[in-house]
Chains A and B, each alone.
Chain A
Amino acid sequence: MTTPPSADSGRSPGALGGGPATGATAPVAPPLGSPPEPAGAGAAPGGRRFRPRALVVALAVLLTGAVAGAGMFALEQSSVTWRPHVTRRASDWRIAAPHGLVIHDAALSGRHLAWASGPYTVVFDLSTGKSKLLGIARHASSDAPAAVSEFYAAWLEGAESSGPSIWTYQFSTSARRRLTDTPGVVSAPALSGSTLVWAGRQSGATGGAKDGDVAVFARDLGTGAGRVVTKGPHVTGPVVADWPRVGWGENAAVTGAAGQVSYFFAVKDVGSGQTYAVDLLAGVTSATLMNIDLSGTTLAWRLQTGGGSGEVLMRDLTGGTTQPVASGPGLSGGSIDGDRVVWAQPAGGGTSIMCRRLSGGAPFAVATVAAGTVTDVLVGGDTVAWIVVGGQNGFNGIETARLVQ
């Protein structure tokens, strides 16, 4: 029967790499009761010698493990991944969601396009064609749209034990950051340049607002300087921003004598202090309000009525009245940047992606989608992007086009 060597039977192990040199030239098998000990007299030769072959064997073991890890990663990526399949077409992009995921809640700002797809929030660089995973909503849905500007992306993510938090990603530094001092977020964030805007419940009663009232906050992500844009019992999301202008909803919806409803949307010019209020539901008795967007002093939005008909509307906040941009059945999207308003409308069995310049001219088709449903249309700079669900060959994704007119 063999017995394990005593703690001291091997003497000192010496330096890592073997016991002291023995000077012995041939291995001598020890008795069964005392195992071979390199450190002792009669141990195998070269106990302290550096053995490259031992290092090679150890590295081979580690390499085998690393290869197995890489294999597991490759296997996992082949079945579950956030990375879209991207195809370049001249100056445009066709971005297909992977593994049957559907892209929704997209945002566009010049060079960057962000969207949610399953639990993933992804940003795409329109100049390089590279995608980057911003976040994975493990414990909260990624239904809240991400926001994107030329400098930052911002999105909401929740934790198991807490409410949603705002996360930001800076494109120039690739720094991803959770804003830990934004409790009680009640709206998706909005971005304009380096200014982040969101609505959240404030704690404590200050300045006429009660504890739990919603406030709209603005923060410069570069300097960290923040301010409260507005607060009060009627303040609610969504928020929009085109700094220094910030817009938010007023949930004091009023029903008129003729059954007409009102939903006021306020826009404040933080620079001048001027606040504008627009009744987005003026003149209608029942409609779903969608796609509220702000560019400069122009507010655009879409109304969807029960009969499937819809209207894309706009209003110059500095004066004038609400103007229809487009109307008809099956409208979708609705986005404004500069003097361009875009939307989608049915055309000849497919869907036309339309654009109208507010400075003048007739609406024109940017592109035509032959099959599938266009769920959203966005404009940022001279790029138009639209989300297609159930397109040709099962295409679910985003297509982009450059405005040439």
Chain B
Amino acid sequence: MIAQPPTRRSRIRRVYVGPFGQQVLVYLLLGLWILNVADLLLTKYAIGLGFATESNDVMRYFLHVGTLTAAVFKIGIVTVGVLVLWRLRRYRAALFAAVLLSGIFAAVVAYQVFWLMSL
């Protein structure tokens, strides 16, 4: 059996995202940015309580330097990432990346919230 070559339309669907997907991307990127800030605040709070240590070496360095420096770095790098994904919003890969990242951030933040609530 000879496989049918993909049509032009199916190739477009495989690579690009339509308006609906782009709007999902917008909400995911917004959620990602907010969750990133929440992660920073919760991490800082948990470290302040003496219960937690930053496991990310880079962030540990910046937190050691100072809270403002850490905040600028963390928010800055995620903001850049969000803008890059928004720039690539027509690509399905950008949507997949946003789904993955926002899902992971949601998991991390939910874990921290439950953990702090359990204290």
Contacts and interface: CB of A to CB of B under 8 A. Distances in A.
Interface of A: 2, 4-5, 7, 10, 13, 16-19, 27, 29-32, 35-38, 43-47, 51, 53-55, 57-59, 61-70, 72-73, 77, 83, 132-133, 135-136, 138, 157, 167, 176, 178
- Which of A35, A58, A73 has the most CB atoms of chain B within a 10 A radius of its CB? A58
Interface in B70-119: 86-91, 99, 102-111, 114-115, 118-119
A285 B17 CA distance: 87
Nearest to B11: A32
Contact of A36 (B12, B53, B115): B12
Contacts of B15: 2, 35
9 contacts: A18-B26, A32-B12, A35-B12, A36-B12, A38-B22, A51-B23, A64-B106, A133-B118, A176-B50
Contacts of B26: 16-18, 54
Contact of B107 (A57, A72, A132): A72
A19 B19 CA distance: 8
Nearest to B109: A69
Contact of A64 (B103, B108, B114, B115): B103
Contacts of B88: 4
Q: How large is the interface on B (under 10, 10 to 19, 20 to 34, 35 or more residues)?
A: 35 or more
B8 A29 contact: yes
Nearest to A65: B106
Interface of B: 8-9, 11-12, 15-20, 22-24, 26-28, 30-31, 35, 49-51, 53, 86-91, 99, 102-111, 114-115, 118-119
B50 A36 contact: no
Nearest to A176: B49
Contacts of A30: 12
Contacts of A64: 103, 106
B51 A69 contact: no
Given A54-B20, A61-B99, 7 more contacts: A2-B11, A27-B18, A35-B15, A35-B90, A54-B24, A69-B109, A73-B110
Given A35-B15, A46-B19, A51-B20, A132 B119 contact: yes
B89 A13 contact: yes
Contacts of A72: 107, 111
Contacts of B91: 4, 35
Contact of A44 (B20, B27, B103): B20
Nearest to B8: A32
Nearest to B32: A62
B92 to A, nearest CB: 10
A46 B110 CA distance: 34
